[in-house]
Amino acid sequence: MGFLAGTLSTEAYEEIAYKFHRLPRFSIEVVRSGTLKHARVVRVRKLSRRYLVADLKLIEDFDVPPGPAQFIMIWIPGVDYIPMSVANYEDSTISIFFSIRGEGTRALAESEGKILGVAGPFGKALPVSSRYEYVLVAGGTGLAPIIRLAKELNELGLLKGVIWGTRTAEDAGDVPSYFKEVTGYSFSLCTEDCSMGFCGRATDLASLVIPRFKECEVIVAGPNDMLAAVANLELVLGRDPILIMESMVECGLGLCGSCVLGRTGLTLCKDGPAFRASQVLDYLVK
């Protein structure tokens, strides 16, 4: 905890310290990524009744900019220390696509104009290869890391399609417009109540579309049942898709054990959050 004590106020140090108790000595790499930096929340936009996006301007920039699929930890004073995917990163501004799920995300939604602490980036950046073209599939807030990835792939001319699923048209709201604004690309929308776009879940449309793209790399982000469904579809076709996982994350440093993926022994925050389906399928279907 020495590196945190040197970078935080006494109040912040005491508030976060419980998440790091009884951890071993940190390496210099962990020290760098775990150091909290200050960021001002310059804007919070409500895209729909379900989804929001918060833009955080870093006062001290990252030593290394976040890559595709990486995430950050956000300290909200007096509330929580939470992991959030990076939906976009430009000119020292981090964009967070999220929904309100608890105290931390509720406080983030009400934080416009406030100063927060940001640590990271954490996890392994997902490498992009020019040897492949890509199809991306997301459900709900799983769209967050897909936005960042779609932007890069589209700029490289490697993006063949994006599928996103949510419950209703009211949930979708302005999310399609925001996605196109950031990425320059339009996704295929699926709604479970059939009120807009494709009638059904993202996995239903994926099962129809993915077999047509025999040479494409498939990347999926969303809840575990969705990841398992697309993984099984792809494995039957003899392919091993990339899954961007979700899990409880406490420290973000790979040391506390809160995000260990069952018997795989893999930690989401250090070994992931992106894995080949063959690495984590047993965990998903446990």
**DSSP structural state of residue 166:** E
CATH architecture, domain defined by 2-122:
Beta Barrel (2.40)
Determine phi and psi for 141, rounding to 5 degrees: -75, -5
Mean pLDDT throughout 250-276?
84
Report the candidate in 274, 218, 234 with the shortest Cα–Cα distance to residue 69. 274
Report the candidate in 61, 94, 73, 88 with the shortest Cα–Cα distance to residue 12. 73
For residue 52, the Cα-to-chain-centroid distance in whole angstroms is: 14
Q: How many whole angstroms separate alpha carbon 216 and alpha carbon 230? A: 14
pLDDT at 25 over 50: no
How much is the pLDDT for 34? 57
What global pTM score does this model have? 0.86
Mean pLDDT throughout 217-238?
92
Report the candidate in 165, 147, 41, 38 with the shortest Cα–Cα distance to residue 97. 147
| Share above pLDDT 90 across residues of the chain, in percent, rounded to a whole number | 66
Beta strands in 77-206 (DSSP E): 80-85, 88-90, 93-98, 115-122, 133-139, 159-166, 188-191, 198-199
Class for domain 133-284, per CATH?
Answer: alpha beta
List, for residues 207-225, the tens digit of each pLDDT value. Answer: 999 999 888 999 999 999 9
State the amino acid at position 31 in one-letter form.
V
How much is the pLDDT for 64? 87
In the three-class reduction of DSSP (H, G, I as helix; E, B as strand; rest coil), residue 224 is classed as helix
Place of tokens 């039957």: 236
How much is the pLDDT for 1? 35
Q: Which residue has the higher pLDDT, 13 or 125?
A: 125
List, for residues 30-88, the tens digit of each pLDDT value. Answer: 444 557 899 999 999 999 999 999 999 999 999 889 999 999 999 999 899 999 999 99
**Polymer length of the chain:** 286
pLDDT at 97 over 90: yes
In the β-sheet with 274-276, what is the strand arrangement from edge to edge? 198-199, 188-191, 159-166, 133-139, 216-221, 242-244, 274-276
Greatest pairwise CA separation for the chain in angstroms? 57
How much is the pLDDT for 23? 36
pLDDT at 15 over 80: no
Spell out a b/e string for 138-153, using b for 16 or more CB atoms within 10 Å of the CB, else e: bbbbbbbbbbbbbbbb
pLDDT at 6 over 70: no
Domain with CATH 3.40.50.80 in the chain: 133-284
Domain with CATH 2.40.30.10 in the chain: 2-122
Question: What is 84-98 written as a DSSP string?
Answer: EE-SEEETTEEEEEE
How much is the pLDDT for 286? 66
For residue 153, the Cα-to-chain-centroid distance in whole angstroms is: 16
Q: How many CA atoms lie within 13 A of 104 on its CB side?
A: 13
List, for residues 132-186, the tens digit of each pLDDT value. Answer: 899 999 999 999 999 999 999 999 999 999 999 999 999 999 999 999 999 999 9
